[in-house]
Amino acid sequence: MKWHHSIIFKITLIFLLAFIGIGAVFVLLAHHRDKNDLMHAQHYVQLAIRSSFDRATKEMDWEKLKEAGFENIETEPLRSTIIEHAKLAKKEHKNALGEPIRPNLITIFYQDFIYAVAKRPRGETIVLLTPYKKEVLSQFVFPVMAYLFIFFLYIGILKSILPVKSLREKIRLFANGDYDIECSSEKKDEIAGLANEFDSAVKKIKGLRDSRQLFLRNIMHELKTPITKGKLAIEMFEDSTYKDILKNVFKRQETLLDEFSRIEKLSADELKLHIAPYKADDIVDFALDIIDEKRGNITQNIKPIILHVDLELFATALKNLLDNALNYSADNHAAIDIKENTIVVSNKGEPLECPLEDFAKPYFMGTKKQKSSRGLGFGLYIVWHILRLHKMKITYDRKNDTNFFTIYF
């Protein structure tokens, strides 16, 4: 999964944008509040200067200003610093045409205090410390509280979502056949509810699997016991045609039971591969040993190549293909050709009446014409799924009156 598809990435992006947006809002609010504070301070300074100015003597009543909360700044270098800041503030005052305005009174912030710089008619500049002070605490407390709230909300959401990763891994293990996983949660959110429901489903499926395996073990035992007794009993017979017939019957019954077992495991997706390199002719010999009585009816054209397969399973797939080819051939003959990257099993006979893919469906038995006493009807089903486990593909083609089943590896 790509990083930009992750829910965690999307949530992180949303919270990051929220952080930036809230920061911008607080900056704008702080700027607006500072502007209002300076404007209110400027009006108050104007009123205080007017009320403290003695028109008779043309002098300022400094005592009256002091009573109003003002302090005359005469010490250097503070006075010069305030005047320089006031000059910079003047440049920001512009009229509707964008031209700078030269106001006689400027109020500025400096070190959390509001200072006023006024120009007297005689050209004298006075610097006053006003009784107003910048509310630094309120400007920091609310943003910090907002950021902390968003941060802890983000952490809380991540803690709620992170179990999804663990749940995903548990689902992967379960899909691969691990029924001993534990994914229950004591939390109360939706993801915990999902984990608990999945945990409950796993336990139920595990119980059904265990019951099925117990039933299959018992039924296989009950079915194989009479076969074993029969095989022991015929050894007591004298050599005769009937003895060979009975041996073939019991061998056929064992083969049927093994096929039923494989069909069940294929349906449950419980077959595990043991891949190893094998010579192609050894694999074919192993497959033909199962249908030894029909070996002479199969033409072989095998190149000396190596196949990486599960010997028993892959040989079973070839055996089923060859067995079907013989059972449904018009001349009781089949052929197998193995080249660099293909295995072709062919016979002369009637074409398949259904698409090959249909035989991969559970319980698909073909048409009435193709249901017969010549086999179980599960041969192609087993072949299809064994090849699927090997990540191989099989196709069906017909040329003239010959059927071709081609395995690509």
pLDDT band at 96, cuts 50/70/90?
A: very low
Task: State both tokens at 82.
Answer: 């305030």
Residue 376: pLDDT band with limits 50, 70, 90: very low
Q: What is the pLDDT of residue 308?
A: 93
pLDDT in tens, 147-193: 899 999 999 888 888 888 888 888 888 877 788 888 888 888 888 88
Distance CA 370, CA 379 (A): 12
Which tokens in the block code for residue 384? 């299809």
Name the token pair of 290.
């199962």
3.40.50.11810, 3.40.190.10, 3.30.565.10, 3.40.50.10860: CATH of 272-408: 3.30.565.10
Query: For the chain, what percent of residues have pLDDT higher than 70?
Result: 87
Q: How far is CA 223 from CA 110, 119, 185, 279, 373, in A?
A: 99, 115, 44, 35, 20
Q: Could you tell me how far CA 159 lies from the centroid of its own chain?
A: 17
Tokens linked to 119: 């120009």
Between CA 94 and CA 166 the distance in angstroms is 62
pLDDT at 378: 63
* Nearest-angstrom CA–CA distance, 163 and 169: 10
Model confidence pLDDT, tens digit, residues 22-68: 889 888 888 888 888 888 888 888 888 888 877 777 777 888 888 88
Q: What is the pLDDT of residues 293-310, one digit of tens each?
A: 778 889 999 999 999 998
- Prediction pTM value: 0.52
Question: Which residue do the tokens 């006003």 mark?
Answer: 130
pLDDT number for residue 224: 80
Number of other CB atoms surrounding residue 58 within 10 Å: 10
Give me the chain's average pLDDT, please.
81
d(CA 377, CA 375): 6
Q: Which of 250, 262, 347 is nearest to 298 (CA)?
A: 347
At 337, the pLDDT band (50, 70, 90 cuts) reads very high
pLDDT per residue as tens digits for the range 380-397: 878 888 888 889 999 999
Instruction: Render the burial of 356-394: b for 16+ CB within 10 Å, e for the rest.
Output: eeebbeeeeeeeeebeeeebebbbbbbbbbbbebbebeb
Most confident option among 91-95, 216-220, 255-259, 365-369? 216-220
Q: Phi first, then psi: what are they for 82, rounded to 5°?
A: -65, -40
Instruction: For the chain, give the secondary structure using H, E and C.
Output: CCHHHCHHHHHHHHHHHHHHHHHHHHHHHHHHHHHHHHHHHHHHHHHHHHHHEECCCCEECHHHHHHCCCEECCCCCHHHHHHHHHHHHHHCCECCCCCECCCCEEEEEECCEEEEEEECCCCCEEEEEEEEECCHHHHHHHHHHHHHHHHHHHHHHHHHHCHHHHHHHHHHHHHCCCCCCCCCCCCCCHHHHHHHHHHHHHHHHHHHHHHHHHHHHHHHHHHHHHHHHHHHHHCCCCCCHHHHHHHHHHHHHHHHHHHHHHHHHHHCCCCCCCCEEEEHHHHHHHHHHHCHHHHHHEEEEECCCEEEECHHHHHHHHHHHHHHHHHCEEEEEEEEEECCCEEEEEEEECCCCCCHHHHHCCCCCCCCCCCCCCCCCCHHHHHHHHHHHCCCEEEEEEECCEEEEEEEC
Of residues 331 and 379, more confidently modeled:
331
